[in-house]
Amino acid sequence: MSRAATDWAWGLEIKASQKLLMLSLADRADELHCCYPSIQRLVKDTGMDRKTIGKWINQMIEDGFISDTGERKGKTKQVRVLRLNIEVKEAQKRNSTKFGNNTKNGHETSPILDNKRSQNWDAESVIEPNIEPTLSARGQFISEAAKRRIGISPNGEIPFPPAFKPSADHIAIASEKGINIETELLNFRDYHQARGTKLIDWNSAFRVWLRNARVNPLSGRQRSEPESPHWNSPEGWKDFI
């Protein structure tokens, strides 16, 4: 994981669904801010469907937030290796200066995808079946009160909800990773309240946070201290190829 990439992703002024996807990419980024999570992994992290993920990936490449390095990984050698362009300023907004292979900016940035690359992304998507229901599908069975408790807003972006409670999914992730969910919830709350973050779906954002958390056996209920990156090692990538 690249902490610099994660901090950069939180600061971007982009749509909430794009930001959630960018956070998932940053969660898998190495020290060079490169990552290659499979489409299935991004579906699990964000709760979005493959089509939406493909659309936002292509859009963020076109806007210059990420670049396609041209390298391919995965079992089929079709998973794109993406690089997060953390040099892009936090205040960058959509419909401002466009990026891509356009020399009007004085230099070249990320290449615009051609049809072949887009098809490669879709081909990898078909290979990996979706085994986890999306948040939108589950949400049809959740009451409005429950949605408020887990931080899902039907009316646009909201600050961190005071009544936010971890879901069963959050508890399962924390248990699987061996982390203290109460400590992580405090860290998550303080981090975003200090920055005035507003999101549509705090439930999914906390899921990404937990997947990003590291185990600190000495911390107990104390705040965990940063440890050495895990996702940068070849062993750490095996689960996501």
What is the Cα–Cα distance from 158 to 205, expressed in whole angstroms? 13
Q: pLDDT digit string (tens) for 30-46?
A: 888 899 888 888 998 88
- Cβ within 8 Å of residue 119, ≥6 positions away: none
pLDDT reading at 98 higher than 70 = no
d(CA 185, CA 59): 32
d(CA 99, CA 126): 30
pLDDT range class, residue 184, cuts 50, 70, 90? very high
Q: What is the pLDDT of residues 109-153, one digit of tens each?
A: 444 444 444 444 443 433 333 333 334 333 344 455 555 555 566
239 DSSP assignment: G
For residue 143, the model assigns a pLDDT of 55
| The domain defined by 3-133 carries CATH number 1.10.10.10 | yes
pLDDT value at position 155? 64
Domain ranges of the chain: 3-133, 135-212
pLDDT at residue 76 above 80?
no
* DSSP symbols for 165-197: ---HHHHHHHHHHT--HHHHHHHHHHHHHHHT-
Q: What is the DSSP letter of 157?
A: -
